[in-house]
Chain A
Amino acid sequence: MATSKEQVQTTQAAGRTWMDVKSGGSNAIPEGLWLRCPQCGQMIYRKQMEANLHVCPECEHHFRISASERVRQLTDPESFEPMFTELRCADPLSFVDRKPYAARLVDEQRRTGEHEAIKAGRAFIKGRAAMLCCMDLTFMMGSMGSVVGETITRSIEAAIDQNLPLIIVSCSGGARMQESGLSLMQMAKTSAALARLDDAGGLFISVLTDPTTGGVTASFAMLGDVILAEPKALIGFAGPRVIKQTIRQDLPEGFQRSEFLQDAGLVDRVVHRRDMRSEVSRVIDYAGK
């Protein structure tokens, strides 16, 4: 990577510009002891909200959480074994917009302390062994580039080899533009790997969280044997803004939210965060995995 640190511009925030995705709720929880819930507008005590699985105690609004927090919430204590952590982004196109992709990555890595927009590994969920992938919205809007696609594909292959149920918790702005065609191909790659898992009789539980859009929705996220979604998560192919511009009419209340998708027959169950562990375990048991 030819980019030196001098080239890194710090004045502009990194590519967190998927306006459609952002409109759904606060991306990062503001600092401070107290915060205002974006749904009910109440001032809530941060520690209380955090102790409540990052759910508003007043209105049940599900705050967006990092992959680490997700892993902590879903898995048995100390049971998560990270895998594929050796994968790093290569900036294959030497992509430069107003800022080089390489510099954006460095900034994102420094800001989040993470290497990429996903965490994968083996874990136990209420004593049941599973392969778990959690996407991380805090890293470049959880966008899928080669590393995310490869991590998911390797996880699927590991689930096949080790006969483990696979759980992928999605939250993403979609494919990562900075890897263009190669990002796009991750959609085909992950979907093809899921065909193999299906052929092997494996179980894939897809968990959709706010927001799941674009190329992630249009690949592995919608291919679960069972698809669970957190309440009121934005889930869709196109962003609401693009749709509004295209059809030139207002979108109905609750459009592209989990409940809307359940009504449309696209999601099996809307599940509250506090029940996710037990619901996932229940499905694993019913599948006999």
Chain B
Amino acid sequence: MALPHVLECEKPLHELERKIQALESLTSNDADQSALDAARAEYAEALAHLYANLSPWDIVRVARHPKRPQTRDYIRLICKDFCELHGDRRFGDDPALITGFARIGSMRVMIVGHHKGADTNDKIACHFGCAHPEGYRKALAKMRLAEKFGLPIVTLVDTPGAFPGLGAEQRGQAEAIAVNMLEMSRMKTPIVSIVIGEGGSGGALGIAVADRVAMLEYAYYSVISPEGCAAILWKEANSETNSAAAKALKLTAKDNLELGIVDDVITEPVGGAHRDPAAMGRTLEQWITDRLRELNRFKPANLPARRYERFRKLGSYLEVEPTPEPSEDAAAPSPAPPAPETDATTPRAAQGNGAAARKPRTRSSEPAPAGN
């Protein structure tokens, strides 16, 4: 029951685990058995309670748990006949991004996913899931292949971020990510993306411009890591500031759902995906097949317009009455009060932006979003 890598937040469970182990080792009689049952029940309850109340920073650590299932694990669990395709035909083969044909249920698909690495050597080879430009270009090349042959694309996002390095910059890390987003937005084939662990900024989004985007319950998706944010805005990354940054960044699955950034949150087994990868795989497979079946009803040629609308409405801003020409005198304070609570303002927030205090409203000039 004990995990080799135990999270800080799971420490209260240790004692119960030891108790259960002690009871299990005893020769059984009825009294021991009932004590064991009670301890197991207590443990199950404590675990459920703990995971129902994880702080955002705890969630980040669960998302990074070394035992958390990765892309290759899910491929093993939910895909049949995986046919891996390597390389970008330009520079090389980045092991941090896996691509290939696979069957999920009765469907033929293209799988694209970040890979962090199974053991130490694998992790180093994969740069801990931080892809290089050739990785993003490989992903794009294989997605184009999928589009050509009418296969839907399933992407599994799990990266701390795109690799920050000399070669990566020289070979156009930014360009590779940007081109992927542009091209994914107009691909005439269904795309579904699932953030299975870490959704680290542009490195994540570079394979996540999809018709439907989901997050696993204890994944995170953020513009910057809590540590990076803490170092910049709090001037120091320590457990306290990391925790504060994780909270402020609204990076959990629930937060991202409320902001309209993801469409669904996929429930994990009690105690997280790492406690029952097989069960997680079944739930994930179900979500993928359901969404792809839904998307198969659309003509592929019509998907880009719908996908565009999905991303087009993301963002939260206000619109004030147009002000006269702004003063050129930079020394003078801004004439219009920047406080957005003036009567003239119209909140226009992201779809389902329940986190904001103001009522969100979609753009009135547009038809109501289709209920899909």
A92 touches B186 (CB 8 A): no
Q: Binding site of B, secondary structure by majority: helix, strand, loop or mixed? A: loop
For residue B261, which residues in chain A have a CB less than 8 angstroms away from its CB?
181-182, 184-185
- Which residues from chain B contact A109 at a C-beta distance below 8 Å? 333-334, 338
The segment out of B30-38, B81-89, B99-107, B341-349 that lies at the interface is B341-349
Closest A residue to B316 by beta carbon equals A92
Measured CB to CB, the closest approach of chain B to A174, in angstroms, equals 9
Does any Cβ of B come within 8 Å of A9's Cβ? no
Which residue of A is nearest B165, CB measured? Answer: A247
Q: Which residue of B lies closest to A239 (CB)?
A: B164
Interfacial residues of chain A within 248-285, with CB under 8 A of chain B in the complex:
249, 251-252, 255-256, 260, 264-266
Q: Decide yes or no whether A209 CB sits under 8 A from chain B.
A: no
Known contacts A90-B347, A90-B358, A236-B174; is A192 also within 8 Å of B311 by CB?
yes
**Given A113-B332, A189-B315: A92 and B356 interface contact (C-beta under 8 Å):** yes
Query: Which residues of B (279-300) have their CB < 8 Å from a CB of A?
Result: none
Q: Are B333 and A110 in contact (CB under 8 A)?
A: yes
Contact A195 B182 (CB under 8 A): yes
B326 CB within 8 Å of chain A = yes
**Chain A window 207-225, contacts with chain B (Cβ cutoff 8 Å), 1 for yes, 0 for no:** 0000000110111111100
Within 8 A of B (CB), among A57-71: 66, 68
| Minimal beta-carbon separation of B75 from chain A (angstroms) | 25
**Is the pair A94, B173 in contact by a Cβ cutoff of 8 Å?**
no
Interface string of A70-85 (1 = CB under 8 A from B): 0000000000001001
Contact present for A243 and B166 (CB under 8 Å): yes
- The answer to whether residues A236 and B223 also contact, given A215-B202, A223-B179 and a CB cut-off of 8 A, is no
| B contact residues, range | 35 or more
Residue pair A236, B316 in contact (C-beta under 8 Å): no
| Closest B residue to A176 using CB positions | B223
Known: A89-B318, A92-B259, A218-B173. A98 touches B234 (CB 8 A): yes
| Chain B hits for A96, CB < 8 A | 248
B14–chain A nearest beta-carbon distance, Å: 34
Q: In the bound complex, do residue B181 and residue A219 qualify as a contact, i.e. CB atoms below 8 Å apart?
A: yes
* CA–CA, A199 and B206, complex, Å: 20
Whether B171 lies near A264 (C-beta < 8 A) is yes
B234: A residues at CB distance < 8 A: 97-98
Tell me whether A93 and B250 are in contact (CB under 8 A).
yes
Q: Does A155 contact B (CB under 8 A)?
A: no
Cα–Cα, bound, A265→B174 (Å): 13
Bound together, the chains give a CA A193 to CA B209 distance in angstroms of 13
Q: Which residues on the A side are within 8 Å of B202 (C-beta)?
A: 175, 184, 187, 214-215, 218-219, 237
CB atoms of A188 and B205 under 8 A apart: yes
Chain A residue with minimal CB distance to B309?
A: A192
User: What residues of chain A have their CB less than 8 Å away from a CB belonging to chain B?
Assistant: 1-2, 15, 17-18, 66, 68, 82, 85-98, 105-106, 109-110, 112-115, 146-147, 149-150, 153, 175-177, 179-189, 191-196, 198-199, 214-215, 217-223, 236-239, 242-243, 246-247, 249, 251-252, 255-256, 260, 264-266
What are some 24 contacts across the A-B interface (CB < 8 A)? A86-B319, A92-B316, A94-B356, A106-B339, A114-B326, A115-B338, A179-B223, A180-B223, A180-B248, A180-B251, A181-B222, A184-B222, A185-B205, A185-B315, A186-B315, A189-B315, A191-B182, A192-B308, A193-B312, A198-B182, A218-B173, A218-B177, A222-B175, A237-B164
Residues of B within 8 A of A (CB): 162-166, 168-175, 177-179, 181-183, 185-186, 201-202, 205-206, 208-209, 221-224, 229, 232-235, 244-245, 248-251, 255-256, 259, 261, 304, 307-308, 311-312, 314-323, 325-334, 336, 338-341, 345, 347, 349-350, 353, 355-358
